[in-house]
Structure 1
Amino acid sequence: MTESLAAAIERVGSAVQLLRNAPALPTVFPVTPEFSNWRSEQQSWRSSVALLDQSHHMTDLFLTGPDALKLLSDVGVNSFANFQVDNAKQFIAVNSDGYLIGDAILFYLAEESFDLVGHPMVIDWVQFHLETGDYDATFERDGNSIVRAGDPKLYRYELQGPNALALMEKVTGAPVPPTKFFHMATFTIDGLTVRSLRHGMAGQPGFELFGPWAEGERVRSALIAAGADLDLVLVGSKAYSSANLESAWVPSPLPAIFTGEGSDAYREWLPVARAGSLAGSLHSDDITDYYVTPYDIGYGRSVAFDHDFIGREALERHAAAQDRTKVTLVWNADDVASAIESLMQPGLPAKYIDFPKARYGLYQVDRVLIDGADVGISHDAGYITNEQAFVSLASIATAHAAPGTAVEVIWGEEPNSNKPAVERHRQVRIRATVEPAPYSRFARENYRTT
């Protein structure tokens, strides 16, 4: 019998203890780790064109029916007033207290037909409300390749970089029509109909291509052949997993599913195996200390109070009292080197810092300090080859969010948890400097315009 999250919390004693010692790993990308090396692969989306395979690590929730859009509107904070077929948006949901559940990309495929794509957190939340609500809609769930039996329903490839447009025109044999950010178009590649989302990563122009799985290899081969003289680089999971550090997207904040109206029933419904794991130096018995609002991680522009949705009143209060800002923290190179060097010295070392991605739980939450006082939390951390910098994305008090502000990140757990990715270690302090998010000026100025 599948254990629910609610039953697991009761067995362990608290949500924090359950998640801190959960065996769940950080997000796994079940594709080739490196085709060449992750450093050169990171550089490709700045210097030429990168081909990334997104077919295997995300979950698809296909929604159809007369009430599918109503469901999405009831759950999502986004405006749906002008949402049309061949549009997409970053779908965001909060709990009844206005704290973030998660986000995913919502594709408007056809009349009464949608595809919600991303990590499972918000997808589970939407599926729960469909199953338990009064909606004339149905769903089909296509899990990632770790949990799915058989092939994906769709292939999904991403082209990113300054040569992406030239590659698309070469492989389709026609000019690419002007397409707005997060709008879709249809192309023909090697005689096959391919749908495309106008996307961007790290500020570079790009396209997300998708279609029936059976046609995927033929489309991929055509892209590789057309990209031979455009410096096309195949990108593996190591580089791809770190791309968000340049665009400043926080991939997995802890979902606020442990408090709020209706959360009891949701935890009874959700299998504990999908609850994830909690890592980092923040160690509080109060699970709400790990929550963020949409404003804390830069989603304020997507919030629209033009409709009723779960958590609207609470989110309006958060909007009126925003006290955190998303920033990039650039870690001090000497302190990072010292933490790594401790692995080769006598005594208990610092927590291992992996490259290019350093997080060791699905939800990474590290303390950020100024003069010994907590001023926020650090999320995802890793190395950006294009900036030759080790950084993390953080939500910190707006009063301390000015570029150039000196802070410290506490790296490592105390006490050490029992997660498989945690070895015996000691906490260390890493000096860091507050910088904008995205860190790359090109990404800041061009993410939604190129």
Structure 2
Amino acid sequence: MLRDSPHGPYKMKYPPVHSNWQDEQEAVRKTAVIFDQSHHMTDVTLRGPDVTRLLSETGTNSFATYGRDKAKHLVVCNPDGLMIGTTVLFGMEKEEARLVGPAGAANWIQFQAETGGYDAEVTRDERTEDNDGSRELYRFEIGGPAAWDILEKVNGGPLPPVKFFTMTELTIAGHRVRGLFHTVIGTPGSDSKGMEIFGPSAEGPAVLDALLRAGDEFGLVRAGGLAYYTGSIETGYPAQPTPAIYSGESTKAYREWLPGDWYEGKLSIGGSYRSEDVEDYYVSPYDFGYGHLVRFDHDFIGRAALEAQADRPHRRKVWLIWDDDDVIRVHRSSLFGGAQRAKSLETPLGRYARVQADAVLVGDRLVGISTMCAYTVNFGHWFSVGFLDEADAVEGAEVTVLWGEEDGGTSKRNVESHVQTTIRARVRLSP
């Protein structure tokens, strides 16, 4: 079902571009860029005296310093230590938190809240495409070398000191807004600082207008979905894993609780990695680049399994820089190859499923998986985020990405008839 998902391409009220994707990609490195994130993510709010306990007993992350204005890239697993998903956790108040992002992780937490005896109320604000009303909050993300100058100008003065992945408050267009400091759209440690700001949706147009006006002198660029997603791949974001919930007794009750048309029912898997067993698509945090977010200072679902895995060999996250000549060959074949055409590389974002899983080979040996792939003017090449066996995750090593799906392509509506081909790539251990 997941490989041949009947659902069409992912829809959202998020323009692919506002000007052109090249300038929009480049702005985060040169000046500043702003994205409107008000539509494509689901917000789930938790309120009540047991909210922190619920999150701590569900998430792999440490909660030793969690509280108001703290945020986390929250990882949740099934009892076998396999990932269900990730979400951004916003610590709003002492007994209030928000989960923002793809809904897989939030759905699992809601299930625990409703079935685990927690004193916690759950309310949902679905992404715009699935929302019958208007969104509760606006969200804008601003980043780049000039981002902080723009924020201080629009705030009318310096911002309070703020640590990475913590929140602060500022004033924009007479409205109080909250902002989360992060570097999702810039390389960590670089000058590309970023902040995600949010507030009541009715105030969004005034806040956006003020930011755009303040940003004129600094070269602020308003960017669309293509620059947003390709920029996140630059920094190593592999999107979401296949939720480890489709099999096994430990998640049976959860499957029976889930509505059929939520995130898990609409999920699609694409790419050249093929298995008849859905469990072969499951990953642990250690094999998905999130081992640093697993902390054994508290009890949580999946802890025992993850403790047993901690000292084993794991796959390592890498960047795969694709060979330019092979990419040109694939483009030529996809356009002029007739019945033997290659799977198209839609520039600049080659994503055609919710979960992308392409086989990475050394000779005939499977050594890992390639996930989201893109071209950016900042890299100057096609590239992807991959996960390779430790022995093969070597700087500069040559590997092969198997591009396209088996047997002429699966029956996903956005997959054209094609034949598989190979693309050489070089391993990079950092962006």
**TM-score past 0.5 threshold:** yes
1:130 aligns with 2:122: no
Which residue of 12, 26, 45 maps to 1:62? 45
Q: Which amino acid aligns with 2:197?
A: L
1:10 is matched with none
Indicate conservation of the 8 Å contact 2:29/2:145, yes or no. yes
In the TM superposition, residue 248 of structure 1 has moved relative to its aligned partner by 0.3
Q: What's the CA shift string for 1:337-390, capped at 9, x where partnerless?
A: 111101213432001111121121111111110011001111111112211111
Separation of aligned partners in 2, 1:126 and 1:27: 24
Match of 2:100 among 117, 136, 141: 117
Closer/same/farther in 2, CA of residues 55 and 61 from structure 1, 3 Å limit: same
Conserved? CA contact 2:186–2:194, under 8 Å: no
* Alignment of structure 1 residues 101-180 onto 2, 5 Å: 101-180=84-163
1:20-419 map, 5 Å = 20-25=3-8, 27-200=10-183, 201-203=185-187, 204-273=192-261, 274-275=263-264, 276-342=267-333, 343-415=335-407, 416-419=409-412
**C-alpha separation in 2, matches of 1:346 and 1:251:** 32
Shift of 1:261: 4.6
Letter in 2 for 1:306: D
TM-score by length of 2: 0.95
C-alpha displacement at 1:27, in angstroms? 4.6
TM-fit CA distance, 1:177: 2.1
Cα 1:25–1:94 shift into 2, 3 Å: farther
Aligned mates of 1:265, 1:185 — CA distance in 2: 39
Does the 8 Å contact 2:339/2:418 carry over to 1?
Answer: no
- Measure the CA separation in 2 of the matches of 1:217 and 1:22: 37
Q: Give the counterpart letter for 1:336 in structure 2.
A: V
- Equivalent position of 1:429 in the other structure: 422
- Inter-partner Cα distance in structure 1 for 2:275 and 2:259: 24
Question: How far does residue 25 in structure 1 lie from its aligned partner after superposition?
Answer: 4.6
Q: Distance in 2 between matches of 1:162 and 1:261?
A: 50
Across the aligned residues of Structure 1 and Structure 2, the Cα RMSD in angstroms comes to 1.2
Contact kept, 8 Å, 1:245 with 1:384, in 2: the verdict is: no
Whichever residue aligns with residue 378 of structure 1, its letter is S
Residue correspondences, number: 421
**How much identity, in percent, do the aligned residues show?**
44
- More moved, 54-63 vs 197-206: 197-206
Cα separation, partners in 2 of 1:358 and 1:71, compared to 1, 3 Å: same
SS in 2 for 1:357: coil
Runs of at least 4 residues off by over 3 Å: 24-29
Q: Which runs of 5+ in 1 are unaligned?
A: 1-17, 440-450
User: What is the TM-score normalised by the length of structure 1?
Assistant: 0.91
Kept in 2, the 8 Å contact 1:25–1:277? The answer is no
- When structure 1 is superposed on structure 2, of 345-354 and 213-222 the one drifting more is 345-354
Does the 8 Å contact 1:360/1:421 carry over to 2? yes
